[in-house]
Amino acid sequence: MEITRLDPAQKKAAAEVTARAFFDYPMMKFYFPNPPRRKKFLGWYMGLVQKCGMRYGEVYAAPDNAGTACFLPPGHTRISFWEYMQNGFSIAPLVWGFRDYGRVLECEDYVEKAHETILQGRPHYYLWWLTVDPGRQGQGIGTALLEPGLAKAGAEKLPVYLETHDEKNVRYYQKRGFELARVERVAKYDLPFWCMVREPG
């Protein structure tokens, strides 16, 4: 299977695939608890996240828009608030409403702080997302999408970090060399997530 960098001409289609794959993901259900609104706005949200990934990291794509993966590089494993704003998120408070947008920012801040605490300033790559079209899962596409980023981190002898909000994903990543570093929970909203690290070698 040939994995390539995401072609900008395919970014809209790729964002739609990501939105389908993440529709029932716990974090997205927290961000967009109303299913019709989630269906309406999740593609928009994922499109902007993908835009940030393409600008600041490397987004890999499988053939036929079957899935994508994004790795953020050492030194830029966190997208700043202003970088989000510069890439289209300035209208986010209007999409969510200011109260719900505040909940999203609280969650993002907690997740980022856990990331920083676990890595303690070590240079590393951040697997920001891995997604496969629901109709194409179980065909080895996810493993293929991981390969270039993991190989690059391995060649540089650097760890790779990720977090998942779905416990079912933990075993998947363990089979690919990641170890569970910590289980965290945004206590205010009872939103758990699992932090994992793949050490070099």
What whole-number distance in Å separates Cα of residue 68 and Cα of residue 74? 20
Closest CA to 48 of 24, 84, 94: 84
Q: What are the structural domains, with CATH classification, of the chain?
A: 4-198 (3.40.630.30)
Q: Is residue 170 within 8 Å of 162, Cβ to Cβ?
A: no
pLDDT at 183: 96
pLDDT at 93: 86
Coil, strand or helix at 188: helix
What is the pLDDT tens value at each position of the chain, 201 positions in all? 889 999 999 999 999 999 999 999 999 999 999 999 999 999 999 999 999 999 999 999 999 889 999 999 999 999 988 899 888 888 888 888 888 888 888 999 999 999 999 999 999 999 999 999 998 988 999 999 999 999 999 999 999 999 999 999 999 999 999 999 999 999 888 899 999 999 997
pLDDT at 81: 86
- Rounded to the nearest 10 degrees, the angle between the axes of helix 35-56 and helix 11-21 is 130
pLDDT at 100: 82
pLDDT at 94: 84
pLDDT at 97: 81
pLDDT at 140: 93
pLDDT at 146: 97
* Amino acid (one-letter) located at 148: P
